[in-house]
Amino acid sequence: MKNKNGQMGKTGQKPFYEGPCIPPEMLPERGVTQIKDPLTGTDVLLVNSVMFTAYMYSQGALSEAFFLPLRDRAVIMGAQCPTCGTINCPPFQRMCPDCDFVEMVPVELPDTGIMMASPPISFFTPSMFKHLAPLARGYVLFGEAQTGLSVWCRTTTGMIRPGIFKKGTQVKVVFNDKRQGLITDICVVPIAELSPELAAKSPLLFSEVNWSALKKPEFEFSSEAEENLRGLFGLEDEIRDSISRSPRAVQNLNGWEVRVQVTTAAGKFGIYIENENIEFVDGSMKDQTFELAVSDPAVFLDWWEGKSLTNLLVEGIMWMSNPSGLETITKMDRIPRSVKRDKEDGSFRKD
Amino acid sequence: MTIRVAVIGAGMTDCRARHYDRTLGDLAQIGTAAAVHDAGISIRDVEATVVGLYNDIFAFQAIPECGFTGQIGMANKPVLRVSNGGATGMYALQAAYEMVASGRFKVVQCLGVEKATDPYDFQSKSATPAVVGTIAYSWDPNFERPLNAHAADSYNQVGLAYKDEYPDDLDDRVQGGIIELESKQAFDNPFAQRHEKVTVEDYLNSRYIVYPSRELGICVYTEGACDIILAADGIAQEICNQNGTEPIWVSGFGFANEPYFPGTDITKHKVLHRIYSDYLAAKQAYEMAGISPKDIGIFELHDAFVFQLMITMAECGFVPLGQSNRVLDLMLAGKPFVNLSGGLTFGGHFVGGSNMMSLWSVRREMLKRRIKFGMIHGTGASLAQYGGVWILEQGERRAS
């Protein structure tokens, strides 16, 4: 999780603000595709394009009020109204509208605070954040501030999960070792996860925190798990056949190719997806894209019945080696519902 | 003195995840034609238009309404575009209302249209991450957007904050029950995007998108249009006499925009566990119409998320805050009927026009079921800070 610059990013990946603003793999080649509208049968042309505007946007007065002190001194700044005493953090306004627009004055705040509320956790994100999911963003009240600063909420115990941060959780700011003057230069961790020495240190730097990863679980062999794994392999033809007959499921997996190694209490097996073709492979898999570990393969039988795999990750029942696997899990979660919907509305091919 | 304003016509396109075969202008034109035909008037009778169109990036064009001004029959007439986040539709309707109530115009149309799912993530080979990212451009670029602020993230922050205050409320099975009911109701909406039976169990089994929201508890992304015709007292009755309907009068409204940044003082900050804008908007509307929530026979509300539907029902006074688990029983009893269109979750959420769809549905049901009072609602902005409510009335007008 930590790189040579002590900046935040997932293991083995560039930190968020390095490299091109738009990753090259997200940029389409020029091209035009002809399709048939699945509803009307009309021939339609789809044109690859972008809405392109680069920016060199100004942080304006927020530079001196917040981002330069953050970068150069590793401090959290607020702004206080000299008349009513209100403290804003972030210092989003230079004048107090409640006191006839009197100029607010800078005030340095402690780097510890409390969560205003339990933060949501994004398992599905906009395009530019896919490589960072799952991630939590919440609001923290620092010192006497009456407004909350939006921050990333991180744990030292692996993947973020519900319940680690709650309303009132005491948190400590962790500063990137190398800061640029961006809100992504900081995150918060629960103070309870830090040693007393680290909790007392200001500023606390990213490289000083032990960001341990969640360990892959190990399972004892179970005959029940073995039976369920046999059941899953017995469903392989039905699953593959159903996907091939379901236009929605075919669309879900269009252009997707992954090799997923799964460890269970019945041993290892692999899931190989290439477009709409899905195969289960017994034993170890070469060139795996990512790895899952779950005690009972019955969860995949439940998946085919419509139960989400994503939720197993959220609930800590299933382990995943790399967050980038979430996109594949999302696509897999869509498939049973797509098949069901196609069967219900008559789109499911009968031939 | 303001002039009474009535809804005298409404028209919809199909709501679809994607209208491959229709441009934005096509949708605008089809919606307009449907509305004027419903009202039994000529487009030449319409003196001005308000367009509710949320997002230029969706449209792949800045000021996209200029492209279809002629197509909707508004050549050389005033066309005002409104964009106000998720509540674009409500604010566009209000702008159209003001045009008529001021006496400036006698017949005005309010067209909501959105072509939302052309954005595409070429890496994921899916539209959704790009559509979600497009909406995320609505967030503050310095403090929030760089941290993955987006619609589901922010609305869930409101839901979680509410849950922090009322841990026993927003029960999962109640949320699932509301989704099941909305899915059934959508089958009576011929334009609904999703005619799909969803059970409580389906809801509970569906994946978390942003914890704690599940996929089946979230509105859909939609392409479509809905057009509403408003007319002034006098001409409204004349038109309705000809088209065989009754005017549906706008008898109350309210609007409020909460500030952007969250804080502790509800008079000057966004307080996370409230949708205070809904409370203020509904309160103003009830006072103006001289009624209370118990008088409302049908309510079409903006259900971006099922938990938000429950909070909005509480903010609008149908149940106390903290007791929104009772909302499902009210809905099942039809006291009031809620989201007979299937709401934005099943009917569709074409942002600029979703609230017009709510009005289309309320008017349809008020006329069909002879309901005296109906209500529509819109919410929007990063943390549900924008709220708007209209109260509609059929028949003899009460004193306002």
Structure-block tokens of residue A4 = 């040579």
Distance CA B279, CA B79 (A): 31
- Do B153 and A137 make contact, defined as CB atoms within 8 angstroms? yes
> Once rounded to an integer, what is the mean pLDDT over residues B280-308?
98
Among B148, B323, B163, CA closest to A162: B163
A119 and B157 in contact by Cβ < 8 A? yes
Chain B residue numbers touching A324 (CB-CB < 8 A): none
Compute the distance between CA of residue A138 and CA of residue B64 in angstroms, rounded to an integer: 35
Work out the mean pLDDT of chain A and round it to a whole number: 92
Give DSSP secondary structure letters for A228-249.
HHHHHHHHHHHHHHHHHH-HHH
Structural domain total, chain B: 1
Looking at every residue in chain B, the average pLDDT score rounds to 96
HSE-up (13 A, CA, CB side) for residue A211: 21
pLDDT at residue number B398: 52
| Alpha carbon B126 to its chain's center | 26
Of A272, A286, A288, A337, whose CA–CA distance to A310 is shortest?
A337
d(CA B241, CA B239) in angstroms, rounded, equals: 5
Residues of A in contact with B22 (CB under 8 A): none
User: By the 8 A CB rule, do A128 and B119 touch?
Assistant: no
Residue B399's pLDDT band (cuts 50, 70, 90): very low
Sign of CA dihedral A333, A336, A341, A347: positive
Q: Is the dihedral of CA B149, B154, B160, B164 positive or negative?
A: positive
On whether any CB of chain B is under 8 Å from the CB of A27, the answer is yes
In a domain, B46, yes or no: yes
Are B272 and A117 contacting, i.e. CB atoms less than 8 angstroms apart?
Answer: yes
Average confidence (pLDDT) over A124-134:
87
Using CA coordinates, name the residue in chain B closest to A166: B164
Instruction: Check residue A5 and give its pLDDT.
Output: 45
Chains A & B: contacts with CB separation below 8 Å: 191
Q: Is residue B81 part of a domain?
A: yes
Q: Which residue from B217, B222, B219 is spatially nearest to B206, judged by alpha carbons? A: B217
Alpha carbon distance A37, A32 (integer Å): 15
> What does the pLDDT read at residue A286?
87
Residue A96 CA to residue A298 CA, distance in Å, equals: 59
A208-237 pLDDT per residue, tens: 999 877 788 999 999 999 999 999 999 999
Distance from CA of B53 to the nearest CA of A (A): 18
CB neighbour list of residue B333: distance below 8 Å, 6 or more residues apart: none
pLDDT, mean of residues B335-344:
98
Tell if the CB–CB gap between B57 and A51 is shorter than 8 Å.
Answer: yes
Average pLDDT value for residue range B106-126: 95
* 3-class state of residue B247 by DSSP: coil
Report the C-alpha gap between A135 and A343 in whole angstroms. 35
Contact B164 A120 (CB under 8 A): no
Residue in A with minimal Cα distance to B163: A118
Type and span of the H or E element at A260: strand A257-264
Residue to mutate among B138, B208, B272, with most A CBs inside 10 A, is B208
pLDDT, tens only, B135-161: 999 999 999 999 999 999 999 999 999
Which chain B residues contact residue A45 at CB under 8 A?
Answer: none
Please indicate, yes or no, if residue B400 is contained in any of the structural domains.
Answer: no
For the four alpha carbons of A294, A298, A303 and A306, in that order, the dihedral sign comes to negative
- Interchain CB distance below 8 Å, A92 and B160: no
List Cα–Cα distances, B57 to A130, B61, B393, in angstroms.
Answer: 20, 7, 37
Q: What pLDDT does residue A141 have?
A: 98
Which residue from A minimizes the CA distance to B269? A147
Structure confidence at residue A7 (pLDDT): 52
Look at residues B193, B195, B186 and name the one whose alpha carbon lies nearest to residue B222. B193
Highest mean pLDDT range out of A249-263, B119-133, B296-310? B296-310
The radius of gyration computed from the CA coordinates of chain B, to the nearest angstrom, equals: 20
**What's the CA gap between A175 and A6, in Å, rounded?**
9
For residue B207, is it within any domain? no
Confidence bin at B266 (pLDDT 50/70/90):
very high
Range of the domain at B62: 5-118+221-243
Q: How many CA atoms lie within 13 A of B172 on its CB side?
A: 11
The confidence score (pLDDT) of residue A157 equals 86
Residue A11, pLDDT above cutoff 60: no
pLDDT recorded at residue B400: 44
Res. B249: pLDDT tops 70: yes
Model pLDDT for residues A82-102, shown as the tens digit of each residue: 999 999 999 999 999 999 999
| Phi-psi group of A231: left, alpha or beta (phi > 0 → left; psi -120 to 50 → alpha; rest → beta) | alpha
Candidate from A26, A120, A147 with C-beta closest to B157: A120
A316 touches chain B (CB under 8 A): no
Q: Other C-beta atoms within 10 Å of B231: how many? A: 28
Report the gap between the CA of B221 and the closest CA in chain A (Å).
14
Q: What is the pLDDT of residue A215?
A: 83
Instruction: State the average pLDDT over residues A46-67.
Output: 96
Question: pLDDT digits over B298-316, tens only?
Answer: 999 999 999 999 999 999 9
For residue A187, the surrounding DSSP H or E stretch is strand A186-190
Nearby residues of B314 by Cβ (< 8 Å), 6 or more positions away? B320, B321, B322, B323, B324, B327
Element (H, E) at A103: strand A102-103
Q: How far is CA B319 from CA A50, B165, B280, B331, in A?
A: 47, 16, 15, 12
A83 interface with B at CB cutoff 8 Å: no
* Run of H or E including A151: strand A149-153
Tell me what pLDDT residue A214 has: 74
CA B343 – CA B189 distance, rounded (Å): 10
Contacts of A118 in chain B (CB under 8 A): 160-161, 163-164
What is chain A's Cα-based Rg? 25
Which CATH number goes with the domain that contains B92?
3.40.47.10
* Percent of chain B whose pLDDT exceeds 70: 99
> Among A117, A254, A310, whose Cβ lies nearest the Cβ of B207?
A310
8 Å CB contact of B208 and A139: no
Domain ranges of chain A: 62-208, 223-345
Q: What is the pLDDT of residue A322?
A: 83
> How distant is the Cα of A167 from the closest Cα of chain B, in angstroms?
7
ipTM above 0.90, yes or no: yes
CB of A269 closer than 8 Å to CB of A259: no
Q: Which residues of B touch A148 (CB under 8 A)?
A: 261-263, 272
Q: What per-residue confidence (pLDDT) applies to A278?
A: 93
Interface of A with B in 161-180 (CB under 8 A): 162, 166-167
Predicted TM-score (pTM) of this structure: 0.94
Find the mean pLDDT for residues B91-105: 98
> Is B12 among the domain residues?
yes
Chain A CB contacts of B164 below 8 Å: 117-118, 166-167
pLDDT of residue A12: 40
Q: Looking at residue A13, what is its pLDDT?
A: 42
Kindly report the nearest CA distance between residue A73 and chain B, in angstroms: 18
Q: Is the pLDDT of residue B169 over 70?
A: yes
| B40 Rama class: left (phi>0) / alpha (psi -120 to 50) / beta | left
Which candidate, A134, A130, A89, places its Cα nearest to that of A111?
Answer: A89
pLDDT of amino acid B125 = 86
- Per-residue 3-state assignment (H helix, E strand, C coil) for B167-189: CCCCCHHHHHHHHHHHHHHHHHC
Nearest-angstrom CA–CA distance, B389 and B355: 10
Chain B residues with CB under 8 Å of A98 CB are: 268
Nearest residue, CB atoms, A28 vs list B122, B209, B260 = B122
Asked if residue B85 belongs to a domain, the reply is: yes
Interface mutation vs chain A, best among B144, B147, B266, most A CBs within 10 Å:
B147
Side chain identity, residue B48: A
Contact across the interface for A26 and B123, Cβ inside 8 Å: yes
Question: Which of B133, B160, B207 lies closest to A127 in CB terms?
Answer: B133
- Preceding peptide of A110 cis, ω within 30°: no
Domain A223-345 in this protein, CATH class: alpha beta
Q: pLDDT tens across B9-63, in order?
A: 999 999 999 999 999 999 999 999 999 999 999 999 999 999 999 999 999 999 9
Residue B198 scores a pLDDT above 60:
yes
pLDDT for the residue numbered A17:
59
From the list A85, A137, A132, the residue with the least C-alpha distance to A107 is A85
- Note whether B260 contacts A35, CB cutoff 8 Å: no
Q: Is A268 on the interface with B (CB under 8 A)?
A: no
